[in-house]
Amino acid sequence: MEEQLRHTPLHAVHVALGARMVPFAGYEMPVQYGSILDEHRTVRTAAGLFDLSHMGELHISGPEALAFARYAVVSDPAALEPGQAQYSMLCADDGGVIDDLIVYRVGDGYLIVCNASNHDAVLAQLTGLLAHGDFDAVIDDRSDRTALVAPQGPRAAELLGTLTDFDLATLGNYRSATATVAGIECLVARTGYTGEDGFELFCPARKATTLWEALMAAGTPFGLKPCGLGARDTLRLEAGMPLYGNELDRTVNPYEANLGRVVKMEKGDFVGRAALVAVQQAGPRRKLVGLMMDGRAIARHGYPVLVAGSEVGLVTSGTLSPTLDRPIAMAYLPAADAVVGGEVEVMVRDRPFRAEQVKLPFYRRPKPDAG
Partner 1 sequence: MFPDDLRYSREHEWVRVDGSTATIGITSFAADELGDIVFVEAPEVGATLSQFATFGVVESVKAVSDLYAPISGRVVEVNADLSASPELLNSDPFGAGWIARVAIGDPAELDALLDSSAYAELTAG
Query: Quick one: which of 354, 352, 353, 312 has its CA closest to 333?
Result: 312
Please give the radius of gyration of the chain, using alpha carbons only, rounded to the nearest integer. Answer: 21
> CB-wise, 32 or 118, nearer to partner 1?
32
Q: How many CB atoms lie within 10 A of CB 6?
A: 15
3-state helix/strand/coil string of 209-222: HHHHHHHHHHHHHH
> CB-wise, 64 or 345, nearer to partner 1?
345
- In sequence order, what are the residues at sequence separation of 6 or more whose Cβ sits closer than 8 angstroms to the Cβ of residue 62? 68, 109, 135, 136, 137, 138
**Shortest CB 294 distance to partner 1, Å:** 14
> CB-wise, 263 or 298, nearer to partner 1?
298
**Shortest CB 17 distance to partner 1, Å:** 16
CA dist., res. 293 & res. 316, Å (int): 14
> CB-wise, 83 or 226, nearer to partner 1?
226
> CB-wise, 109 or 327, nearer to partner 1?
327
**Shortest CB 31 distance to partner 1, Å:** 7
The two counts, helices (H) then strands (E), for the chain are 8, 19
CA dist., res. 359 & res. 283, Å (int): 19
**Shortest CB 349 distance to partner 1, Å:** 7
Residues in the chain: 371
Residues that bind partner 1 (CB under 8 A): 31-32, 35-38, 230, 233-234, 296-298, 300, 319-320, 349
**Shortest CB 37 distance to partner 1, Å:** 5
At position 117, the amino acid (one-letter code) is S
CB 78 within 8 A of CB 268: no
**For residue 92, with 0-12 CB atoms within 10 Å meaning exposed, 13-18 middle and 19 or more buried, which class applies?**
middle
Helix, strand, coil share of the chain (percent; to 5): 30, 35, 35
**Shortest CB 254 distance to partner 1, Å:** 28
Q: How many CB atoms lie within 10 A of CB 3?
A: 6
CB 179 within 8 A of CB 190: no
> CB-wise, 32 or 194, nearer to partner 1?
32
**Shortest CB 343 distance to partner 1, Å:** 22
**Nearest-10 Cα torsion for 117, 120, 122, 127:** 170
**Shortest CB 358 distance to partner 1, Å:** 20
**Shortest CB 329 distance to partner 1, Å:** 14
